[in-house]
Chain A
Amino acid sequence: MPPKFARQVAIAGIGATEFSKDSRRTPMQLAVECCSLACEDAGLDPKEVDGMVVFSAENNPEIEVARNLGISELTHFSMVHHGGGAACGVIALAAQAIFSGAAKNVLCYRAFNERSWHRFGSGVQDRPTSAEAEVVSFSWSSPFGLVSPASWVAMFATRYMHEYGATSEDFGRVSVIDRAHAANNPAAYFYERPITLEDHQQSRMIVDPLRLLDCCQETDGGQALLVTSAEHARDLAQKPAVLSGAAQGASEDQHMMRSYYRDTISGIPEMGLCARQLWEMSGLNPDDIDVGIIYDHFTPLVLPQLEEFGFCERGEAKDFIADGNIALGGKLPINTHGGQLGEAYLHGMNGIAEGVRQIRGTSVNQVSGAENVLVTAGTAVPTSALMLSQDG
Chain B
Amino acid sequence: MTDFLEQLRAGIGVEGSAQVAPDLVNIPMIRHWCEAMDEANPNFLDEEFAAAGPHGGIVSPPAMLNAWGMPGVRIKREEMGHPPPPPIESETERETYGSVLGLLDNAGYLGVVATNSEHIYHRYIRLGERVKGTQKLVDVSEEKQTALGIGHFVTTETEYQTTDGDPVGSMFFRILKFKPHTGRDASKEGAENAADSPAAPPAMRPKPSMNQDSQFFWQGAAAKELRIQKCNSCGRLQHPPGARCPACGSMDLGWKVATGRGTLYSHCQVHYPPLPAFGKPPIVGLVELEEGVRVLTNITDCAYSQISIGMDMQAWFYNDPQGFSLPLFRPARQPRRTETLLAGDISEGDPMPICPIPLTVTGIVATAIATRDYQDVHHDRDLAHQKGSKDIFMNILSSSGLASRYVSDWAGPDAIFKNLKIRLGAPNHPYDCMTMSGKVTEVKSSAASGADSGADSGGGQADGADVTVEFAGINSLGPHITGSATLYFPANPSR
Contacts and interface: CB of A to CB of B under 8 A. Distances in A.
Interface string A236-263: 0000000000000000000100101100
Contacts of B275: 125, 145, 147
A148 B272 CA distance: 8
Given A144-B297, A261-B239, A261-B294, A155 B206 contact: no
Interface stretch (B2-10, B60-68, B208-216): B208-216
B11 interface: no
Contacts of B277: 145
A309 interface: no
Nearest to A151: B270
Given A139-B208, A145-B282, A265 B272 contact: no
Contacts of A133: 211, 213
B284 A131 contact: no
B277 to A, nearest CB: 8
A144 B208 CA distance: 10
A138 B209 contact: yes
Contact of A144 (B213, B238, B240, B298): B298
Contacts of B296: 140-141, 144, 146, 155, 258, 260
A154 B271 CA distance: 12
Contacts of B309: 158-159, 162
B147 interface: no
Interface residues of A, number: 47
A150 B272 contact: yes
B294 A260 contact: yes
A129 B209 contact: yes
Closest 6 CB pairs of A and B: A154-B268, A139-B208, A145-B282, A131-B211, A142-B206, A159-B266
Interface of A: 121-127, 129-133, 135-148, 150-151, 154-159, 162, 204-210, 255, 258, 260-261, 265
Interface centre among B268, B284, B298, B320 (most CB of A within 10 A): B268
B273 A148 contact: yes
A235 B240 CA distance: 52
8 contacts: A136-B211, A143-B324, A145-B205, A145-B284, A145-B298, A147-B206, A154-B270, A158-B268
B265 interface: yes
B207 to A, nearest CB: 5
Contact of A137 (B206, B239, B240, B268): B240
Interface string B265-303: 111111111010110001010100000011111100000
Contacts of A207: 268-272
Contact of B271 (A135, A156, A157, A205): A205
B154 interface: no
A157 B269 CA distance: 12
A193 B334 CA distance: 51
A341 to B, nearest CB: 16
A271 to B, nearest CB: 19
B304 interface: yes
A147 B273 contact: yes
Contact of B270 (A126, A129, A145): A145
A207 B328 CA distance: 19
A124 B239 CA distance: 21
Contacts of B270: 145-148, 151, 154, 207
Interface in B379-426: none
Nearest to A163: B309
B209 A130 contact: yes
Contacts of A138: 206, 209
A144 B284 contact: yes
Nearest to B267: A158
Nearest to A160: B266
Nearest to B324: A143
A160 to B, nearest CB: 9
B326 interface: yes
A135 B209 contact: yes
Contacts of A121: 272-273
Contacts of A155: 266-268, 284, 286, 296
B282 A144 contact: yes
Contact of A143 (B206, B238, B271, B293): B206
Interface of B: 205-211, 213-214, 238-240, 265-273, 275, 277-278, 282, 284, 286, 293-298, 304, 309, 320, 324, 326, 328
A149 B211 CA distance: 24
Given A144-B296, A144-B326, A155-B267, A136 B282 contact: no
A258 B268 CA distance: 13
Given A131-B211, A143-B320, A207-B269, 8 more contacts: A131-B209, A136-B211, A144-B328, A145-B278, A146-B296, A155-B267, A260-B286, A261-B294
A171 to B, nearest CB: 13
A158 B238 CA distance: 23
Contacts of A151: 268, 270, 284
B420 to A, nearest CB: 33
Contacts of A154: 268, 270
A148 to B, nearest CB: 6
Contacts of B268: 146, 151, 154-155, 157-158, 207-210
A272 B295 CA distance: 25
Contacts of A158: 266-268, 309
A142 B294 contact: no
B272 A208 contact: no
A70 to B, nearest CB: 41
A131 B210 contact: yes
Contacts of B326: 143-144
Given A123-B273, A129-B207, A260-B296, A140 B240 contact: yes
A60 to B, nearest CB: 26
Given A141-B296, A207-B268, A125 B209 contact: no
A178 B265 CA distance: 31
A136 B214 contact: yes
A208 B304 contact: yes
Given A144-B296, A159-B309, A129 B269 contact: no
B426 to A, nearest CB: 21
Contacts of B298: 144-145
Nearest to B246: A253
Nearest to B204: A125
A390 to B, nearest CB: 42
Contacts of B294: 260-261
Contacts of B240: 137, 140, 255, 261
B286 A139 contact: no
B210 A136 contact: yes
Among B209, B265, B271, find the residue whose CB has the most chain A CB atoms closer than 10 A: B209
A52 B321 CA distance: 47
A121 B270 CA distance: 12
Contacts of B265: 159
Contacts of A126: 206
A206 B209 contact: no
A156 B309 CA distance: 12
Contacts of A139: 208-210, 214
B317 to A, nearest CB: 13
A207 B268 CA distance: 6
Contacts of A135: 209
B208 A162 contact: no
Contact of A129 (B208, B278, B293): B208
Q: Which of B206, B208, B211, B275 has most chain A Cβ within 10 Å?
A: B206
Nearest to A262: B294
A141 B284 CA distance: 9
Contacts of A145: 205-206, 270, 275, 277-278, 282, 284, 298
